[in-house]
Amino acid sequence: MKPPRDVDARQLIKALARIGYTVARQSGSHIRLTTAAPSPHFVTVPNHSPLKIGTLHAILAEIAAHQRIDKATLIEKLFS
């Protein structure tokens, strides 16, 4: 499954909140998210609208690796 192409930072942060990520801090135009499950993990999301597709893919790949699930499964979980 492909992620939507018009995702902005706010939409991504809201979707990531459903799987346990919360906003830890913001520095300029970058928002740092954190989760404690299954282990501590931090990810930085640029506050852009829309996010570049390569940036979105990199963020989703990093989160999928941390969650130990397939990227397609993560996309389905977040955007459906």
Over the stretch 35-78, which tens digit does the pLDDT of each residue have? Answer: 998 899 999 999 999 999 999 999 999 999 999 999 999 999 99
pLDDT of residue 66: 95
**What's the pTM value of the predicted model, to 2 decimals?**
0.93
Name the band, by pLDDT with cuts 50, 70 and 90, for residue 7.
very high
Q: Which residue has the tokens 């829309």?
A: 50
Residue 52: HSE in the Cβ half-sphere, 13 Å Cα cutoff: 4
pLDDT of residue 37: 85
pLDDT of residue 41: 96
| Domain limits, the chain | 9-75
Domain at 9-75, CATH from 3.30.1380, 1.10.287, 3.30.920, 3.30.499: 3.30.920
